[in-house]
Amino acid sequence: MKYRTMEKLGIKSSAFGLGCMRFNGEPSGDSIIDEQKAVSLIRRAIDGGVNYIDTAYVYLDKTSEIVLGKALLDGYRDKVTIATKMPKEAVKDRASMQALLDEELRKLQTDHLDFYLMHGIDKEKWEYFKSIGAPEFFDDMKKEGKIRYKCFSFHGPYEDFEYIIKDSDWDMVQIQYNFMDVDNQAGDKGLKLAGELGIPVVIMEGLLGGRLSKAPENVQKLYDDFPVKRSAVEWAFRWLCNHPEVSVVLSGCNEAEQIDDNLRIFDTVEPGIMSDDELKLMEDVRKAYQSRTKIGCTACRYCMPCPNGVDIPGIFAAWNNHSLYNTDLSSDWNLRMIREHDAGADKCIRCGACERACPQHLPIIESLQKAWAELTAG
Ligand SMILES: NC(=O)c1ccc[n+]([C@@H]2O[C@H](COP(=O)([O-])OP(=O)(O)OC[C@H]3O[C@@H](n4cnc5c(N)ncnc54)[C@H](OP(=O)(O)O)[C@@H]3O)[C@@H](O)[C@H]2O)c1
Ligand code: SF4
Ligand code: SF4
């Protein structure tokens, strides 16, 4: 495992940080997290050198923190830094912020958090957090030793990112970034700005929620034709770690093989490691993807549940997969589930709730209709 120094904080973090947002449920369907498997995956990552673990109050129906707390028993807590988050929806004043933080500490079975983030903010959410005194609350909790670092995770346009990062004294920022998102959200400009301000950067959605792990034919051909052979996942992580501003790349793994693969990859990556030919390859890969992607849905599920039962990420996944991989629609799992649960776009009543919740600011309503027409044609 390669470690990177967060200069501002004087600590070393593993380049690979484990995300706790995407653990699978129990095969029986009884629980949203297969707890035994998740605990074993978390400990496997830590045993392999990971010392940065990311979760949030809302992940996996508010159970992610509980499972992480259990995984960090038996001496594992002392081996890692924990990042978790305060969602805007759960707080309205100092008392509710205090209650939330205390609940998170209880669930995580720890007396302090390392990184505490205002969750998924843009300018509007940041103004809300300021209006209820969140920055002062975070500063006070730092003084009390209940949190070590005041941070935010970001989903929004670059202009909002620039405003927020310059508007307070932050210890770390977490942004969505990957080779497809260089001009999206904080993007290249945001990463560079954070670097100039000396604020450590943690990356989320480095594989676009897993989409970049499965190269379509035209992308795979580019990888195959390159003299050095690497998997799509390795290329994506290598590209991220090439950036000196990046401290940690989060990845949410569901299988032991993925943990092991990522441990291997993050043992080889250093800032500035990519040659000009490799950088050119990734530019070509980006263009090849752009020619195929239907919609940039990352399956974060912030838009769910739809009050009318529409499976928004499922429909977009089926639409993208069909375009990227030429999947056979008659055997597409997502589409079958959507039909079984009567969760098609024909149920949409255009209430707009999903578009207000989407961190990618996608035109969900119109896209759903287009997607559904294509997926159900013939
Ligand atoms: N603060 C926020 O607003 C926010 C938003 C999003 C995410 N996050 C955090 O950031 C973390 C990382 O984001 P993410 O989960 O979207 O990360 P990601 O790395 O973009 O995607 C994770 C997915 O990539 C696939 N994957 C990972 N390693 C692989 C490997 N070696 N080989 C093949 N596939 C691999 C898995 O997909 P399959 O499931 O298809 O196998 C996994 O579920 C989250 O877990 C969460 O903690 C925060
Ligand atoms: S606009 Fe349609 S898809 Fe979106 S939340 Fe409303 S009913 Fe659901
Ligand atoms: S439509 Fe937006 S909010 Fe919904 S899953 Fe996709 S990216 Fe997330």
Q: Which of 52, 57, 59, 289 is catalytic?
A: 59
pLDDT tens figures, 9-22: 999 999 999 999 98
Q: Exposure string (b/e) for 125-163, b if CB count within 10 Å is 16 or more?
A: bbebbeebebbebbeebbeeebbbbbbbbbbbbbebbee
Domains of the chain, residue spans: 3-290, 312-375
State the amino acid at position 365 in one-letter form: I
Q: With a 6 A CB cut-off, is 305 part of the ligand 2 pocket?
A: no
Weakest mean pLDDT among 139-148, 228-237, 283-292: 283-292
Ligand with an atom nearest the CA of residue 300: 3
pLDDT tens figures, 56-83: 999 998 999 999 999 999 999 999 999 9
What local confidence, expressed as pLDDT, does residue 327 receive?
Answer: 64
Q: With a 6 A CB cut-off, is 121 part of the ligand 1 pocket?
A: no
Residue 302 has pLDDT above 80, yes or no: yes
Q: Tell me whether strands 16-19 and 246-251 are parallel, antiparallel or unpaired.
A: parallel
DSSP state of 227: S
Helix extents (H) in 145-181: 158-166
Q: How confident is the model at residue 367 (pLDDT cuts 50, 70, 90)?
A: very high
What DSSP string runs through 131-152?
HTTHHHHHHHHHHHTSEEEEEE
Weakest mean pLDDT among 111-125, 210-224, 238-252: 210-224
Residue 167 has pLDDT above 90, yes or no: yes
pLDDT tens figures, 82-111: 999 999 999 999 999 999 999 999 999 999
- Residue ranges around ligand 3 (CB below 6 Å): 297-303, 312-313, 316, 357-358, 360, 362, 364
Ligand with an atom nearest the CA of residue 57: 1
3-class secondary structure, 113: strand
What's the whole-model pTM score?
0.83
**289 in active site:** no
Nearest to 302 by CA among 253, 251, 348, 353: 353
Ligand with an atom nearest the CA of residue 232: 1
pLDDT tens figures, 330-359: 877 789 989 999 999 999 999 999 999 999
Angle between helices 276-290 and 217-225 (to 10 degrees): 170
Q: With a 6 A CB cut-off, is 17 part of the ligand 1 pocket?
A: no
Q: How confident is the model at residue 329 (pLDDT cuts 50, 70, 90)?
A: confident
Nearest to 51 by CA among 22, 78, 21: 78
**What is the CA(18)–ligand 1 centre distance, in A?**
9
**What is the CA(305)–ligand 3 centre distance, in A?**
11
> Under a CB-based contact definition with an 8 Å cutoff, are residues 109 and 76 in contact?
no
Q: Which of 349, 356, 360 to mutate to test the pocket of ligand 2 (most atoms within 8 A of CB)?
A: 349
Choices 2.40.50.140, 3.20.20.100, 3.40.190.10, 3.30.565.10: CATH for 3-290? 3.20.20.100
Atom of ligand 3 nearest to the CA of 364: 1
Residue nearest to atom 2 of ligand 2 (CA): 348
**What is the CA(298)–ligand 1 centre distance, in A?**
10
pLDDT tens figures, 203-224: 999 998 887 888 988 999 999 9
> Under a CB-based contact definition with an 8 Å cutoff, are residues 126 and 118 in contact?
yes
What local confidence, expressed as pLDDT, does residue 36 receive?
Answer: 93
What local confidence, expressed as pLDDT, does residue 118 receive?
Answer: 98
In angstroms, the CA 281 to CA 268 distance is 19
3-class secondary structure, 30: coil
> Under a CB-based contact definition with an 8 Å cutoff, are residues 14 and 262 in contact?
no
Residue nearest to atom 40 of ligand 1 (CA): 210
**What is the CA(151)–ligand 2 centre distance, in A?**
32
For the record, the structure tokens of 61 come out as 């129906």
Q: With a 6 A CB cut-off, is 209 part of the ligand 1 pocket?
A: yes
**What is the CA(230)–ligand 2 centre distance, in A?**
40
What local confidence, expressed as pLDDT, does residue 325 receive?
Answer: 58
Share of the chain above pLDDT 90, in %: 83
In angstroms, the CA 124 to CA 321 distance is 33
| Structure-model confidence comparison of residues 150 and 214, the more confident one | 150
Mean pLDDT of the chain: 94
Mean pLDDT computed over 149-159: 95
